Amino acid sequence: MTVAYLVNQYPKVSHSFIRREILGVESYGIPIARFAIRSCESELVDEGDKLELEKTRIVLDIGIVGLLWGLVRVAITRPIRFLSTLRLTIQVGWGSERGVLRHLAYLAEACVLLRWFSQADITHVHAHFGTNSTTVPMLCHALGGPPYSFTVHGPEEFDKVGAISLAEKIKRAAFVVAVSSFGKSQLYRWCPSEQWSKIHIVHCGVDEKFLRQSPIPVPDCPHLVCIGRLSEQKGHLLLIEAAGLLAAEGLPFKIVLVGDGELRPEIENRITQLGLEDKIEITGWLSNDQVQKQILAARAVVLPSFAEGLPVVIMEALALSRPVISTYVAGIPELVEPGVCGWLVPAGSVTVLTEAMRTALQLPVDKLEQMGKAGAERVAQQHDATKEAAKLAQLFQSVRS
């Protein structure tokens, strides 16, 4: 069998976990063909991502003429299937926030992929994210293409269940993957109980580069690091407010924000307003090796998110024996245990976030190392990329049988 992986954008800076998953599944003897709807080549900084890009076929690279020709070809050669799928496209698009016209574009993409999948002898398609990444293989399957499955991460999928027709996608899928128990429970909410058996948990994982590294001592310097896209849901603005309170107390510290995004100008303005330029640094996107160095240079990783699935950066931090400050959101409490390997705070609470950051900055190094060790053990048990890939490989094999 040959499995196609389809993601809206792949490879992508924040999606290194997908790359690890693909390599893990391939290690079990299942060939993987990579496909993406669009490219984000200009953002890539990691050499591993650049190598993956060379293996990935991009749908929109064929241009609008290629998309229209793909649509016409399927309409002519499979008129009954095409009309049936057109009705499904209109049905799904009518209730969506993106509208019918955008979904007709998804149908054109599905027509192109129908031919590509046939040429590559694809027997199954797996998508990541239950948004348009899954809409396209669902339409392709309706046209007569291979069966599909998809991984739901959250929070976006759970914020707009009706708008992305999540229930319809679950119904038509061979199986569905959740990345946490919380995610699985949310999928249970939106499909009939007779479909629950097709929903499985496969954790995102970290590879041996993280899991097998000898522990590096926690530095005896007041550094924290926050890694993630600079967007509203990550809680960066509250982190800046908490930093302002700590600075007012005269507490020495430095916080490094690794990432970029639409909220960067607002974050930079707030840093300036609070006079924190010498205490907070924004690096932009970094390679995986550079991210690892930033984690190891910190006493703890802080991620005060309002909405999440289960962030891979938390797994990476704990695997590197660094405790984590995060929030009681989605799947995070399944990994971060307060007082054992980190701190959890109510999402949106600047006061409690400030207290946790102060504690992490002042706690003795030996206590931080003890917490980091406990976190590394939890990640090794629950988020080994190779072990999780075995679960997915088994699911792919079960579809074939």
Number of compact structural domains in the chain: 2
Say yes or no: 59 and 166 in one domain.
yes
Q: Which of 89-93, 95-99, 209-213 has the lowest mean pLDDT?
A: 209-213
> Average pLDDT in the 359-371 region?
97
Q: Does 350 have pLDDT greater than 90?
A: yes
Say yes or no: 35 and 121 in one domain.
yes
State the amino acid at position 104 in one-letter form: L
CATH number of residue 289's parent domain: 3.40.50.2000
Q: So what's the pLDDT on residue 97? A: 86
Q: Does 3 have pLDDT greater than 60?
A: yes
Q: Does 207 have pLDDT greater than 90?
A: no
> Average pLDDT in the 291-310 region?
96
Q: Does 400 have pLDDT greater than 80?
A: no
Say yes or no: 376 and 390 in one domain.
no
Mean pLDDT in the chain?
A: 95
3-state secondary structure labels for all residues of the chain: CCEEEEEEECCCHHHHHHHHHHHHHHCCCCCEEEEEEECCHHHCCCHHHHHHHHHEEEHHHHHHHHHHHHHHHHHHHCHHHHHHHHHHHHHHHHCCCCHHHHHHHHHHHHHHHHHHHHHCCCCEEEEECCCHHHHHHHHHHHCCCCCEEEEECCCHHHHCCCCCCHHHHHHHCCEEEECCHHHHHHHHHCCCHHHHHHEEECCCCECHHHHCCCCCCCCCCCEEEEECCCCHHHCHHHHHHHHHHHHHCCCCCEEEEEECCCCHHHHHHHHHHCCCCCCEEEEECCCHHHHHHHHHCCCEEECCCCCCCCCHHHHHHHHCCCCEEEECCCCHHHCCCECCCEEEECCCCHHHHHHHHHHHHHCCHHHHHHHHHHHHHHHHHHCEHHHHHHHHHHHHHHHHC
Q: Which of 38-52, 113-127, 148-162, 357-371 has the lowest mean pLDDT?
A: 38-52
Q: What are phi and psi of 98, to 5 degrees?
A: -95, -10
- pLDDT 10s digits, 315-326: 999 999 999 999
Say yes or no: 158 and 274 in one domain.
no
Say yes or no: 154 and 221 in one domain.
no
List the one residue out of 228, 160, 218, 168 whose CA is nearest residue 195: 168
Say yes or no: 287 and 390 in one domain.
no
Say yes or no: 343 and 370 in one domain.
yes
Distance of alpha carbon 79 from alpha carbon 86, whole angstroms: 10
* 139 and 107 Cβ atoms separated by less than 8 Å: yes
Q: Does 360 have pLDDT greater than 70?
A: yes
Say yes or no: 127 and 224 in one domain.
no
Structure tokens at 345: 């705070």
The band of 401, judged by pLDDT with boundaries at 50, 70 and 90, is: low
> Average pLDDT in the 224-252 region?
97
- pTM of the model as a whole: 0.92
The band of 278, judged by pLDDT with boundaries at 50, 70 and 90, is: very high
Say yes or no: 135 and 228 in one domain.
no
Q: Does 31 have pLDDT greater than 60?
A: yes
Say yes or no: 45 and 171 in one domain.
yes
Q: Does 248 have pLDDT greater than 70?
A: yes
Say yes or no: 244 and 332 in one domain.
yes
Q: So what's the pLDDT on residue 62? A: 96
Residue 310 lies in domain: 209-382
Q: Which of 37-51, 110-124, 272-286 has the lowest mean pLDDT?
A: 37-51
Say yes or no: 264 and 393 in one domain.
no
Distance of alpha carbon 189 from alpha carbon 184, whole angstroms: 9
